[in-house]
Homo-oligomer: A and B are copies of this chain.
Amino acid sequence: MKFNNRNVVISPKAKIGENVRIGDNTVIYDNVEIGDNTTICNDCVLGEPLNSYYSDEHYKNPALKIGANSLIRSHSIFYAGSTFGNNLSCGHRVTVREHVEAGTHFGIGTLSDLQGYITFGDYCRLHSNVHIGQQSTIGNFVFIYPYVVFTNDPHPPSNICKGPTVGDYTQIAVHSVLLPMVTVGQNCLIGANTTVNKDFGDGLVIVGSPAKAVAAVTEIKSKEIEGAMHYPWMYHFERGMPWEGIGYDEWAKTARE
């Protein structure tokens, strides 16, 4: 339904892989590279030019690389100058600015807004309407839920721009705010509506405004399995994870090699 080649515009300077589908009304600018078997839906803009395009007559679009086996849903805007690993999956109306470096299997929810200059590891997932400010650093398997904001200016407005750092496997629930320069360790659970204003170590349940560590994540009882603890969640959740079907320990053994 979506792939009728109506009003599709592709720069001759773009590199399109094998078996790529491009939806109606989509525009692909100079120096975009799309991996094999990727689907770009309708009404997308890939390789959106950077701000200097509007004033610099010698402007040259930096490369945007989208990995293989990816799916970008409709009405999304990706600026030039970012790199995404294979198996990117994204919702509608996503806005992604320049200098985002993301690993494989990255998920970006509808309406999420990545301000650029951000690093993500592998298998990160942003739900709808997540806002990540510039100069943020996010590990592997970090899931971030709706309306979470990562900030980067401690005294607005100032000339400082330094975002948060979040460790592997940490989960950040809806409506939480991470203040500039905070570091949160691995395997944490940040509860809904939390304001994280200082650093936290690994494996903590972090809640409140201002945030406090109120427990270890290993103290949270599963609601699915009688008598079990839910965290670390990798032992109880595998949909779309690389340990699907084999278990986390088995995967981790191989992954370490």
Number of chain A residues whose Cβ lies closer than 8 Å to a Cβ of chain B:
68
Across the interface, do A175 and B149 meet the contact criterion of CB distance under 8 Å?
A: yes
Given A95-B92, A128-B131, are A151 and B156 also a contact pair (CB < 8 Å)? no
**Shortest Cβ gap from A48 to chain B (Å):** 8
Q: Does A93 contact B (CB under 8 A)?
A: yes
Bound-state Cα–Cα, A224 to B114, Å: 26
A29 cross-chain contacts in B, Cβ below 8 A = 1
Q: Does A98 contact B (CB under 8 A)?
A: no
Across the interface, do B49 and A237 meet the contact criterion of CB distance under 8 Å?
A: no
Q: Does A223 contact B (CB under 8 A)?
A: yes
Task: For A156, give the chain B residue with the smallest CB separation.
Answer: B171
Given A77-B75, A92-B95, are A143 and B155 also a contact pair (CB < 8 Å)? no
Q: Does A160 contact B (CB under 8 A)?
A: yes
A159 cross-chain contacts in B, Cβ below 8 A = 224, 236-237, 239
Contact among B53, B113, B177 for A192, CB-based, below 8 A: B177
In the complex, the 4 A-B pairs of residues with the closest C-beta atoms, listed nearest first: A155-B230, A157-B237, A193-B195, A149-B174
Instruction: List 10 additional contacts besides A131-B147, A147-B149; criterion CB under 8 Å.
Output: A1-B30, A24-B27, A95-B110, A129-B131, A149-B174, A151-B174, A156-B173, A157-B171, A157-B237, A179-B192
